[in-house]
Amino acid sequence: MIYNENDSVRLSADEKSVVIIDQTLLPGEKRFISLNNAQEIFEAIYRLKVRGAPAIGIFAGYALFVLTCQIKDDEDFFAELDQTADFLNSSRPTAVNLSWALNRVKNAALSCGSRRREDILKAMKSEALKIHQEDIEVCQRMSRYGLSLINDGDGILTHCNAGALATSRYGTGLGPLIYGAENGYNFHAYIDETRPLMQGARLTAYELMNAGIECTLICDNMAGLVMSQGKIQACFAGCDRAALNGDCANKIGTSSVAVLADYYKIPFYIFCPTSTIDIDCKTGKDIIIEERKPEEITDLYFDGQIAPQGIECYNPAFDVTDHSLITAIITEKGIIRRGEALEQIISAE
Ligand code: MRU
């Protein structure tokens, strides 16, 4: 695996830690941090130092390998591995890539066909690297599919951040814009700031500006006006967990964009690698929505607290967009239009 300097997640050269770009410091500072203990790794996911469903999965895969290398006791090896995987899996509930990647790396250990520690670790490392390599290819394919849905000069509304920071290289929801720009297309991105954690204002704006794409930052409550002014030809969002009926959980506010897009007859697209489809969820009602601390609403990105002391807050981190509002779901295996079944794509080559 050959990393590049913009990869948001990587295994360290000595393979003893996982290195990430601390996304909470962006855009002010691009700092790489190296993590090698379970508590730090858990916190990095919980605090969104590493975030975005695919990036969380890649990170968790490497992290499980790194932490398994530290297990001292041969007798309890598999029990400890299991406990570590469960602990990491409890850091955030909505993005299915977390459990998906942990299971892949854990299963690589269980089915490696040898009881020798070095063989087991080799199998785990190889699976973690494979998850990362696959994601790079998945993002490239999704970017090309996404580009086929839009026209040169289009205005594209984005919500949250589905770029390289959240995935690998091109990203998913931002991929068509970045890949398109490399191929001579000009788009204008309207970036929802994405309250309360500002992934749009901080991360999408940073990535699109670095890619030389024309963009305008708007507050989340401006999307309707911008749509009514004819500035938006398509909306692009990522996905944290898709149910089999096509309902998609993504960053809080995504479903509001979808409702507005429906009203203004603007196509609304969800970018969802097949790793993000959860076959155990029949509909969006089966998806657990993470609820986060009130301080993210009242204090976090302000100089001081702006809301009255003690105000009750509700801070769900995700919402579910009903499948009826999604024009198409873009996967690495193809585009699934409204009304088409998602299930078949999972087993497709
Ligand atoms: O809370 P976050 O920042 O991890 O939420 C991320 C999103 O909702 C992304 O849109 C999603 O993970 C897709 S990333 C390709």
Residue 111 and residue 47 in one domain: yes
Residue 233 and residue 123 in one domain: no
Contact (Cβ atoms closer than 8 angstroms) between residue 342 and residue 275: no
Rounded Cα gap, residues 91 and 290, in angstroms: 10
Q: What are phi and psi of 266, to 5 degrees?
A: -110, 130
Q: Which of 51, 159, 276 to mutate to test the pocket of ligand 1 (most atoms within 8 A of CB)?
A: 51
Q: Which of 136, 191, 199 to mutate to test the pocket of ligand 1 (most atoms within 8 A of CB)?
A: 199
Q: What is the pLDDT of residue 286?
A: 98
Which residue in the list 220, 240, 247, 319 is annotated as catalytic?
Answer: 240
Residue 256 and residue 183 in one domain: yes
Atom of ligand 1 nearest to the CA of 199: 3
> Is 3 among the domain residues?
no
Contact (Cβ atoms closer than 8 angstroms) between residue 94 and residue 249: yes
Which of 105, 139, 173 is the endpoint of a domain?
A: 139
Hey, what are 107's tokens? 């299963």
Rounded Cα gap, residues 245 and 231, in angstroms: 31
Residue 108 and residue 26 in one domain: yes
Q: What is the pLDDT of residue 176?
A: 98
Task: Concatenate the DSSP letters of all residues of 269-282 into one string.
Answer: EEE--GGGB-TT-S
Dist. CA 49 → ligand 1 center (Å) = 12
Hey, what are 149's tokens? 């849905």
Rounded Cα gap, residues 191 and 206, in angstroms: 11
Task: Concatenate the DSSP letters of all residues of 25-89 into one string.
Answer: STTT---EEEE-SHHHHHHHHHTTSS-SHHHHHHHHHHHHHHHHHT---STTHHHHHHHHHHHHH
Helix (H, G, I), strand (E, B) or coil at 254: helix
Residue 132 and residue 181 in one domain: no
Residue 188 and residue 333 in one domain: yes
Dist. CA 205 → ligand 1 center (Å) = 15
Residue 261 and residue 222 in one domain: yes
> Is 121 among the domain residues?
yes
Please state the domain count of the chain: 2
Hey, what are 293's tokens? 């601390």
Which of 109, 139, 169 is the endpoint of a domain?
A: 139
Residue 240 annotated as catalytic: yes
Residue ranges making up the domain that contains 123: 9-139
Atom of ligand 1 nearest to the CA of 172: 15
Rounded Cα gap, residues 203 and 166, in angstroms: 9
* CATH code for the domain in which residue 93 is found: 1.20.120.420
Dist. CA 83 → ligand 1 center (Å) = 26
Rounded Cα gap, residues 302 and 296, in angstroms: 10
Which sign does the torsion angle of CA 66, 72, 77, 82 carry? negative
- SS3 helix, strand, coil % of the chain, rounded to 5? 40, 15, 45
> Measured between alpha carbons, how far is residue 284 from residues 114, 142, 165, 251, 277 in Å?
40, 23, 26, 14, 11
Residue 152 and residue 124 in one domain: no
Which sign does the torsion angle of CA 300, 238, 33, 292 carry? positive
Residue 121 and residue 150 in one domain: no
> Is 248 among the domain residues?
yes
Return all residues near 143 (Cβ < 8 A) that are at least 6 apart: 170, 171, 172, 175, 176, 178, 179
Which of 139, 157, 181 is the endpoint of a domain?
A: 139
Q: Which of 46, 202, 251 to mutate to test the pocket of ligand 1 (most atoms within 8 A of CB)?
A: 251
Q: What is the pTM of this model?
A: 0.96
> Is 304 among the domain residues?
yes
Q: What is the pLDDT of residue 74?
A: 83
Dist. CA 199 → ligand 1 center (Å) = 8
Low-confidence stretches of the chain (pLDDT < 50) are none
Residue 293 and residue 158 in one domain: yes
> Is 270 among the domain residues?
yes
Ligand 1, CB within 6 Å, residue ranges:
48, 51-54, 95, 160, 162, 166-167, 172, 199, 238-240, 250-251, 317
> Is 73 among the domain residues?
yes
Dist. CA 160 → ligand 1 center (Å) = 6
Task: Concatenate the DSSP letters of all residues of 91-154 into one string.
Answer: S-SS-THHHHHHHHHHHHHHTSS---HHHHHHHHHHHHHHHHHHHHHHHHHHHHHHHTTS-TT-
What digits encode the pLDDT tens for the residues 85-142? 999 999 999 999 999 999 999 999 999 977 899 999 999 999 999 999 999 999 999 9
> Is 4 among the domain residues?
no
Dist. CA 165 → ligand 1 center (Å) = 10
Residue 258 and residue 305 in one domain: yes
What digits encode the pLDDT tens for the residues 242-286? 999 999 999 999 999 999 999 999 999 999 999 999 999 999 999
Rounded Cα gap, residues 69 and 77, in angstroms: 10
Q: What is the pLDDT of residue 114?
A: 76
> Is 1 among the domain residues?
no
Residue 105 and residue 70 in one domain: yes
Atom of ligand 1 nearest to the CA of 97: 12
Nearest to 18 by CA among 68, 57, 60: 60
> Measured between alpha carbons, how far is residue 106 from residues 53, 60, 180, 222, 275 in Å?
19, 11, 37, 44, 16
* CATH code for the domain in which residue 185 is found: 3.40.50.10470
